[in-house]
A and B are shown apart, each in its own frame.
Chain A
């Protein structure tokens, strides 16, 4: 009984809400994984700026942490109720799919930003496999001639972005690797150690320490993101090996790019959250005005940032990376 009445109230709000707002301006929802990660902070800024420019109203929500799909589902439901015609979402997991389908059934356009999921009308994201390939190619060229002993510092098991970056790196390095669709982490004789970091600095350090224990001769370190890379560098520094080991990473946050400048990270693949958000908002306004939904996958670009360019691999310098980075400069 209670549930029924809640539902009917929600429905009533939905009807009134839509009617009231539709006359006014298009409402676009943005749901991120967290409210605090600078990547999503930047994404939100980008969406707000674009919404202001195009005269749209932006609603935002997020989970408490990566994987908090419950909060994202609630946000989808609330935004549909509040009259959003387009919802942009960086999915925390496939558990959101049924809620997305329900929203779409009500005529809402749902666009995936950054993290793909089945059933989204469109995807605006970094090609994480390509991001991996770029740092793989860089590592190969920078260490040419030396026998490779690689440590893989991953995110956590089963995460598609983690698998794409990992396998892309190996492919770029010229090792046998699974394709971009695979969720399995490839492993070859050259990858002497693999450990999870949760993308966190302290755990990145612990993982690297354990890898050095396994094989002190490691000379290349792949890291899932720049905090993990900073942790790995710390472990190498304590072991007196920071000069002999090449660290590569993915993200392009301002702290990460600064670490490329300091020589902590040799090269990182930079992604562009602001662009993802701006494109998402523009697609939302298009849909509200012309009724045309966005579709397919749009690559928002990835650039290799390296302090020292190597022959045969295109890269931009730290200055360019800093001008395009996200987070506090």
Chain B
């Protein structure tokens, strides 16, 4: 059932902000160039792909599921849209739509397998992750697609606020987060996502079509991966079959750092944005400090454990 618990900010939701502020203070004190509008704008631009994937991943995790296929599906989407445009000469908007249709199609397949055949999401998405990877490699012959039309890279462009270049993709990411946050918080269908994650049986008994909610969540997640495909192409200006290898775990990391419970039903989507930014800040700050990237991996690992521990303890406390 929907509860008011997840409307109050418990420590699991303040945690990511604390981590972010702490990291910023440390890097601000130890490096010269960390605190600048341009650097923060850069970090946002660097996290926009994982950030948008993390929206879809948040939705799936809110239903107590998990999506391992997100990174590979995103890579496939980017290959489909770039190859359709470059090799088939399709107009850019149509090629983009085809790419997003493919990622949403994968979402639909994930959703159908989870709702109709009742397979565990972990296994379903493990399978589709491999399928998406293989199709990407076969279709692209493992070669980068270059010469993509300007319309596909438009979101990677920037405009200046003062002297700070903000990318259009960053604006889109923030808009998607705000839209999704509003939907989850203020609409009936959004609240149903929480309900399904909290207690699917009870939700079904009060007459909410749990399967339809779940199916919708997976398709929607696929749509977000498609938008992430476009952002990746916009950022790198190529279709890269080797992309997406680590994005599934990066996105899960962002969601967990953002305070969304892996057990479903609890969390705020905006937290995932903060979680993604924490990882981006670590990578940027440690490069500025001249520290090996292994420390980034180490710190991220510790933060994930802390985040899950806080979630687990607060869950026990609530019972």
| Chain A proximity mask over B26-48: 1 for CB below 8 Å, otherwise 0 | 00000101000011001001100
Answer whether residue A213 sits at the interface, using C-beta atoms and an 8 A cutoff.
yes
Task: Give residues 124-161 of B contacting A (CB, 8 Å).
Answer: 137, 141-144, 146, 156, 158
Whether B42 pairs with A213 at a CB distance below 8 angstroms is: yes
Answer whether residue A8 sits at the interface, using C-beta atoms and an 8 A cutoff.
no
Whether B294 pairs with A38 at a CB distance below 8 angstroms is: no
Answer whether residue A230 sits at the interface, using C-beta atoms and an 8 A cutoff.
yes
Whether B142 pairs with A41 at a CB distance below 8 angstroms is: yes
Least Cβ distance of B146 to chain A in Å? 8
How many residue pairs bridge A and B at CB < 8 Å?
80
If A201-B242, A227-B242 touch, does A210 touch B142 (CB 8 Å cutoff)?
no
Whether B33 pairs with A202 at a CB distance below 8 angstroms is: no
Answer whether residue B187 sits at the interface, using C-beta atoms and an 8 A cutoff.
no
Chain A contacts for B288, CB-based, 8 A: 210, 213-214
If A36-B142, A38-B143, A255-B144 touch, does A227 touch B240 (CB 8 Å cutoff)?
yes
Least Cβ distance of A70 to chain B in Å? 15
Answer whether residue A123 sits at the interface, using C-beta atoms and an 8 A cutoff.
no
Q: Which of A37, A198, A234 is close to B142, meaning CB atoms less than 8 Å apart?
A: A37
Chain A contacts for B292, CB-based, 8 A: 157
Chain A contacts for B243, CB-based, 8 A: 200-202
> What are 27 of the A-B contact pairs (CB < 8 Å)?
A36-B137, A36-B241, A41-B142, A156-B293, A157-B294, A195-B287, A195-B293, A196-B293, A198-B245, A198-B246, A200-B240, A201-B238, A201-B242, A201-B243, A202-B49, A202-B236, A202-B240, A205-B235, A210-B283, A214-B31, A214-B288, A227-B144, A227-B242, A234-B237, A238-B158, A255-B146, A327-B143
Kindly state the separation between the CA atoms of A157 and B298 in the bound complex, as whole angstroms. 13
Whether A201 pairs with B240 at a CB distance below 8 angstroms is: yes
Least Cβ distance of A61 to chain B in Å? 16
Whether B245 pairs with A65 at a CB distance below 8 angstroms is: yes
What residues of chain A have their CB less than 8 Å away from a CB belonging to chain B? 35-38, 41, 65, 156-157, 193-196, 198, 200-202, 205-207, 209-211, 213-214, 227, 230-231, 234, 238, 255, 327-328
Chain B contacts for A36, CB-based, 8 A: 137, 142, 241
Chain A contacts for B240, CB-based, 8 A: 200-202, 227
- Which of A37, A195, A211 counts the most chain B CB atoms within 10 A? A195
Answer whether residue B232 sits at the interface, using C-beta atoms and an 8 A cutoff.
yes
Kindly state the separation between the CA atoms of A205 and B232 in the bound complex, as whole angstroms. 11
Answer whether residue B290 sits at the interface, using C-beta atoms and an 8 A cutoff.
yes
Whether A210 pairs with B242 at a CB distance below 8 angstroms is: no
Kindly state the separation between the CA atoms of A41 and B292 in the bound complex, as whole angstroms. 32
Kindly state the separation between the CA atoms of A157 and B144 in the bound complex, as whole angstroms. 25
Kindly state the separation between the CA atoms of A36 and B241 in the bound complex, as whole angstroms. 10
Whether B237 pairs with A255 at a CB distance below 8 angstroms is: no
Answer whether residue B82 sits at the interface, using C-beta atoms and an 8 A cutoff.
no
Task: Give residues 218-241 of B contacting A (CB, 8 Å).
Answer: 232, 235-238, 240-241
Whether B242 pairs with A206 at a CB distance below 8 angstroms is: no
Chain B contacts for A38, CB-based, 8 A: 141-143
Q: Which of A201, A213, A327 is close to B39, meaning CB atoms less than 8 Å apart?
A: A213
Chain B contacts for A238, CB-based, 8 A: 156, 158
Answer whether residue B170 sits at the interface, using C-beta atoms and an 8 A cutoff.
no
List 9 extra interface pairs beyond A207-B287, A209-B42, A213-B284, CB under 8 A. A200-B242, A202-B49, A209-B46, A210-B42, A210-B283, A213-B38, A214-B33, A230-B144, A255-B143
Whether A193 pairs with B143 at a CB distance below 8 angstroms is: no
If A210-B284, A227-B240 touch, does A202 touch B235 (CB 8 Å cutoff)?
yes
CB nearest neighbor in B for A197: B293
Task: Give residues 167-182 of B contacting A (CB, 8 Å).
Answer: none
Chain B contacts for A255, CB-based, 8 A: 143-144, 146
Chain B contacts for A200, CB-based, 8 A: 240, 242-243, 245
Chain A contacts for B235, CB-based, 8 A: 202, 205
CB nearest neighbor in A for B142: A36
Kindly state the separation between the CA atoms of A238 and B240 in the bound complex, as whole angstroms. 19
Kindly state the separation between the CA atoms of A35 and B141 in the bound complex, as whole angstroms. 10
Whether B236 pairs with A157 at a CB distance below 8 angstroms is: no
Chain B contacts for A205, CB-based, 8 A: 235-236
Chain B contacts for A327, CB-based, 8 A: 143
Chain A contacts for B49, CB-based, 8 A: 202
Least Cβ distance of B18 to chain A in Å? 24
Whether B241 pairs with A231 at a CB distance below 8 angstroms is: no
CB nearest neighbor in B for A233: B237
Kindly state the separation between the CA atoms of A36 and B39 in the bound complex, as whole angstroms. 36
Kindly state the separation between the CA atoms of A329 and B238 in the bound complex, as whole angstroms. 17
| Chain A proximity mask over B99-133: 1 for CB below 8 Å, otherwise 0 | 00000000000000000000000000000000000
Chain A contacts for B45, CB-based, 8 A: 209
Kindly state the separation between the CA atoms of A255 and B141 in the bound complex, as whole angstroms. 13
CB nearest neighbor in A for B289: A214
Chain B contacts for A211, CB-based, 8 A: 287
Kindly state the separation between the CA atoms of A41 and B243 in the bound complex, as whole angstroms. 18
CB nearest neighbor in B for A38: B142
Whether A214 pairs with B142 at a CB distance below 8 angstroms is: no
Chain A contacts for B144, CB-based, 8 A: 201, 227, 230, 255
Kindly state the separation between the CA atoms of A193 and B288 in the bound complex, as whole angstroms. 8
Kindly state the separation between the CA atoms of A60 and B288 in the bound complex, as whole angstroms. 44
CB nearest neighbor in B for A258: B146
Kindly state the separation between the CA atoms of A201 and B236 in the bound complex, as whole angstroms. 7
CB nearest neighbor in A for B296: A196
Least Cβ distance of B96 to chain A in Å? 18
Whether B238 pairs with A230 at a CB distance below 8 angstroms is: yes
Least Cβ distance of A227 to chain B in Å? 7
Least Cβ distance of A199 to chain B in Å? 8
Kindly state the separation between the CA atoms of A207 and B288 in the bound complex, as whole angstroms. 10
Whether A193 pairs with B142 at a CB distance below 8 angstroms is: no
CB nearest neighbor in B for A185: B292
Q: Which of B141, B237, B238, B287 is close to A210, meaning CB atoms less than 8 Å apart?
A: B287
